[in-house]
């Protein structure tokens, strides 16, 4: 089922004309917003990674769980409301294109929590289920 127009902003609380948190350079309504709203699927593993980062940034746990492989997905997900995601760096991708079934995205996600900056460096694995990209798992790098 597709969400109604403007659903992305209602779900996230973001204005669709605001810059997308993933920092790809497009407005939220043309970038990750439609994926969070269920209006379209991510076409690549990197696009799914960016939309998942955006979901963390706006606190959309429903999208995070929907876009997680059922075999590795937790039953619930509690985000720290005091953690503010600052920006995302994509370091590399392997496969994960429109014609692939698996992909890898290495990234660093920068955040601020308890008044201090931090970062999460992860190599994430993605796969497709019924044509849609999902997050499988990741290895956190030091």
Exposed / middle / buried, residue 139 (Cβ in 10 Å: 0-12, 13-18, 19+)? exposed
Domain for residue 66, yes or no? Answer: yes
Domain for residue 2, yes or no? Answer: no
Q: How many domains does the chain have?
A: 1
| 3-class DSSP state of 106 | strand
pLDDT in the model for residue 14: 83
Write b or e for each residue in 36-73: b if 16 or more Cβ atoms lie within 10 A of its Cβ, otherwise e.
bbbbebbebbbbbbbbbbbbbbbbbeebbeebbbeeeb
Domain at 84, CATH number: 3.10.450.50
Domain for residue 1, yes or no? Answer: no
Could you report the per-residue pLDDT of 12-27, keeping only the tens digit for each?
678 899 999 999 999 9
> What DSSP character marks residue 3?
P
Domain for residue 57, yes or no? Answer: yes
**Range(s) of the domain holding residue 82:** 7-141
Domain for residue 37, yes or no? Answer: yes
- Residue 102 contacts by C-beta under 8 Å, 6 or more apart in sequence? 45, 95, 96, 125, 126, 127, 128
Domain for residue 85, yes or no? Answer: yes
Could you report the per-residue pLDDT of 80-124, keeping only the tens digit for each?
999 999 999 999 999 999 999 999 999 999 999 999 999 999 999
């Amino acid at each position: 089922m597709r969400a109604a127009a403007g659903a992305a902003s209602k779900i996230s609380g973001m204005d669709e004309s605001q810059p997308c948190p993933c920092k790809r350079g497009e407005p939220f309504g043309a970038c990750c917003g439609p994926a969070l709203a269920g209006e379209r699927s991510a076409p690549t593993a990197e696009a799914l990674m960016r939309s998942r980062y955006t979901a963390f940034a706006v606190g959309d746990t429903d999208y995070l769980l929907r876009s997680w492989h059922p075999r590795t997905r937790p039953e619930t997900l509690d985000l720290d409301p005091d953690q503010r995601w600052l920006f995302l760096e994509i370091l590399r991708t392997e496969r994960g294109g429109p014609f692939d079934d698996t992909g890898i995205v290495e990234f660093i996600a920068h955040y601020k929590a308890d008044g201090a900056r931090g970062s999460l460096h992860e190599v994430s694995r993605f796969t497709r289920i019924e044509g849609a990209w999902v997050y499988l798992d990741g290895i956190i790098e030091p």
